[in-house]
Structure formats: structure tokens, C-alpha cells
Chain A
Amino acid sequence: MNVPVVRSLVGGALASIVLLGLAAPAWAVPSYARQTGMACSTCHTVFPELTPFGREFKLNGYVLDNMKQIRGITIERQETLSLNSIPPISAMLQVSYTHTQMAVPDSVAANAANGALARDGDLLFPQQASLFYAGKIADGLGAFLQLTYDGAADHFGFDNTDVRFAHHLALSGASDNDLILGLTLNNNPTVQDAWNSTPAWGFPFAGSNVAPTPAAATQIDGTIGQNAGGLGGYLWWNHSIYAELSAYTASKVGGSHPLDSSQGPALHGLNPYWRLGWETRWDQNALFLGTYGIEAHIQPGGVAGTLGGETDKYTDYAVDGQYQYITDDHILTVLGTYIHEKQRLDASSQFGLSQNVDDTLNTMKLAANYYYRREIGGAVGFFNTIGTADNLLYPAGVPVTGSSSGAPNSRGFIFEVNYLPFLNVKLQLQYVKYLKFNGATTDYDGVGRRAADNNTVYLLGWFNF
């Protein structure tokens, strides 16, 4: 296959990914409230951000219950069943309106060439609608399962999933020497994490899934998510030290199975994910510092034969931190992460999908949010992605999603005002301002689009019940 064809395939794939599917997944689940009998504010500052108790609930396997159980025991009194009498089912609805500073080109090719634009201002009813099974399965075993209907894509899909088992180990009988050992089975590296500074549950907690977003993201920053299956073990010692080691492999959703080269990028073999962190709590404060990362071997797919032979190797090293100040009246959270990705693109370069064999991609995200009485609040976020220019990975001449310089660099701010009339309902106004998009400020795609044209106003009604 010649390079222009590959380039157009890559460009088209990028466009569809960028335009259809990169909204941050982020949900809170009322069935946990039903299971525990506790209000949302117990586990969330404002959903989906977790409080220290919310982290404990998650790391304990989602199993804390305060409702009648359907039980089974053996003659030796061994428990064989402990099931909530009411299934932990809940639902989520997101309705949104997106407006970009300049509409994107009309997708009909002839009109695009003439500079015709799509209609700007897009109401999605729903943007997403989800059903959850979120709660206890058995003693020590719990789940977070999400099925999501995506309004723009018009399909139901398997979304974030985390099934985990946790066991307390009393060390030397001392009550202040507590150790939890756990296992997690999930489909998105960092979805199992209990801090909101990692990608799966990071800021922004919701965003438009129809506005243009930058072409480049590190593998751990949502690229692998929901096309992976992983099993890991973790420990949580004295409510302070967290350590985890997991391994992920390909688990592609949809398409042909067993996997062949018609599928998009697919993990190859077992890919290690690690996490280490330390949390300290004092008075109304909680501070967390951590590191995480993944070594992902990926077969690029999309070109016949790409599932054999060479693989691309992505190594993501990341640090993150989170500070929370939580009182009844005031809640302040500051969080951030920095991800450094080394890309060894042996397969992509061989198949003409990348220009270079070695690239890097670095992403920084910082955010601060404040709420008054969990009712009204605002947030400011900053993001910056810098990487090696690669004219095939980030091709020029593709309207909106292309990069005329081949550089993936994007930078900008996110501003939010949020109002919660109830703990489980969030009304959000978000503004995303791009200072740089896919490598440039003006004519970044080689077709005349400016970074600022992608500035986005996003209105969201988010209901959990």
C-alpha cells in the first residue's frame, strides 16, 4: 500500500477517533449509595472525584454493604453466598450542547473543498446514557460495570469495567497496622485507580465528544482503554501506601475476531502496568503523591500483515499528585500529572505509518477545582502536550485533525462553572481554550484552520439515579 493511501487511512481513522470518541469517561454511581445507605457526599467531594472514604470503599472491593443479604452457608458455616437483596443497578444520563468557535468543515468532500461548514451548535440527547451494575457480588468481591449508549456514535458499548477482590490482612493483630491485598480485573489502565490524578478518572471529568480534540495522546491517557483486558494485584497499607502491578493484553471491542490486521491498534502479549503512591491525611487535608506507567507493545493494524512481526513499543512513565481540602462549606482540590512516553515504532515505521522509529510524547495536566457546600463551584485546568514531529503519525492536509508541521503539540486551558441542585445532578458550563492545536496556532492543519477555531463552549446536564 502506498504512503498517500496509508496517510489518508490514518487521517480518516484519526478524524473519526477525534470527532467521535475521546470524551473523558467519568461517572459516579447511585447504586453504591443504595448499597451502603450513605449519601454521595460520603465517597465523593463532588462526583466523580473521590474523598478519602471513597478511596477506601473502592480499595476494599466495593463491598461495604448495609442492606439485607441473601445468604448461603455450608454445614461448616462457610459462606457460599452473600448477595444484596436489591441489585445494585443505576443509570446515568448526559445531555449536552457543544459549540465551537468555528464549525468544522462539512464532511461531504466537495463541500469541504469549497470551504463549506457543518452546522455549528450540536445538541446531543443523550450524549451518553449508561447502565451500571456497581456493587457487591460476594464477600470481598465487587464490581463496577458500565454499559454506555453513545449518542454521536449511535451504539451501545461496554464501557469502563473494574471487578475486584479485596482481603484484609491483620498484621500482628495491631489495629493500626492494616493491610489490604486485592486483585483487579479491568479494561482500562488506571480505571482501577483510586485517585483522580490519573487519566481514567481525571480532569476534565466530562467533555464534549463532538468537538475537535488534539490528535496525540499517550497510550495510558485513554488510548488503550476499553480495548484492553488486565489483571493485577495491589496492596494498600495503613491507609497510606499503595502499590500495584498489573498486566494487560488486547481485548478489542467489535470488529473481526480472532483479531486480524483489519483491526486498529492492538496490544501484543502481556504488557506490565505499575503504580506506587503515598497518601497522608491530616485534619481536613489529604495529600497524595504517586507514580504509574505502562510498557505497551502494540501492533498497529490497519494494514495487511501488521499483526505479524514487529511491534511498536510505548513506555509511559508518569508522576501524579493530588491535594484535597474538604469541609462542609469549602472543598478545594488540586491535581496534576505528567506523562513521558517513549515510542519505539519498529512496526509503524516499517509499514509506513510513522516517519521516525523513535518518537517521544509528553503530556502535562494540571487542574484546581473549588466547591461551596457541594453546590456551586468552578474549575481551571491547563494541559500541554509536546512531542516529536512525525509527518506520518500527524499528517498535514487533513482538515481539522491534521498537523501541517507534523508536530503533535497542543496547549490550552479548561474553565468550568458547575452547579449541583442535588448531590447526584450536575449542570456544567465548560469552556476549552486552545493556545496551540496539533503543532501550531494558525493554519495548524494545512487547510487554514486556527487553533482558536476549536475553542469550545460545552453545556452539560449530568444526571445519576
Chain B
Amino acid sequence: MSEPAQGDRGNTGDDAGRRLAAAYDAHGASLYRLALMILADRSAAEDAVQQAFAKLAGMDDRAAHLASIHGYLRSAVRNECYRMLARGRVRVRHELAASLLETVDPDTDLAEHREAVGRALSRLPPEQREVVHMKVYEQMTFHQIAEELKVSINTAASRWRYAVEKLRVALAAYGCDEVHDDRER
């Protein structure tokens, strides 16, 4: 985000709007997905993302001093998500778990399976869902996850381990064949 020139004072509002739009187009979807995985609630995730961008918009010219807009927005979204959870504003509705995920390959989409995976994910604690998201969907290493979450590598790894164990049990209980077969093997 560059500082507006002196002669463009009249267009400062437009520039800010354009910068915000560019930031949203670049980072909005990934931030929303992160918020959705932490909160497991679509409307709450939208609120968290909107709050993060509102903070960025409120910074005006100071946004130019940011080392990384993505990093700023990411930590703003995380803070907002955990603040909403701490205030009890988010209640996970397991019946909406199917809407948490979308399929990568539409040809192999099984709605029941997708719902079972979504339901199993929605039953995890938010911290574990967050680690699952970073590990699986953002393909981050435990070192990177630990650095971002400001926890030890062991903590990040154990969150992953607990999450995998719970997912495995939950998906077997829902009758997902792949995991079930592997357990009996």
C-alpha cells in the first residue's frame, strides 16, 4: 500500500477504497477460510473477516507502515475469532456442518461423506481445528504453525495429534469406510 501523493488529496478516499478492495481480493478468501475453520460458523466467520478489514480501513495512511498486510489481517482475524469465542457469541451448530466444507473435485463429491467430515471437524476444539487447517489446507510445517500461533512446536504437534485421533474415531463412528477399513486392518 503506497502513500497517496500530495496532489491526490481529493482522491484519498477512493484510493483507500481501492486499496481495501485489492487487499480483500488478495486475502479475503483465505482469511475467511481460516475464520470458518476456527469458528465453524459461516456468519460468525464473515463478521470476523469484516472486523479485520474494518480495522485495516481505520488505519488510513498508517497501513503503509505495515510489514505485511496479510500478516496483519491474519492476526486480526484470529484475535477477532478468539474474542468472539471468549464472549460466547459463537455456538457451533452441528446440523450446519455440511456447509463448512466444499469439495475439491466435484466428480467425486459424496454429500454424506462431506457432511460427516464437516461434522467431525466441527466437534473439534477451535485450537485443534486451526492447526488442522494450517497443516492440511495451508500446508504449513509444525515449525511455521508454532511460530504463527506463538506456541511451542510440541504444542502444535500435539494439537494435530489429538485432532487426528478424534477425527479418526469420529469418522469411523460415522461409518466412513476408508478410516474404518484401515482401523480393522
On whether the two chains bind one another, the answer is no
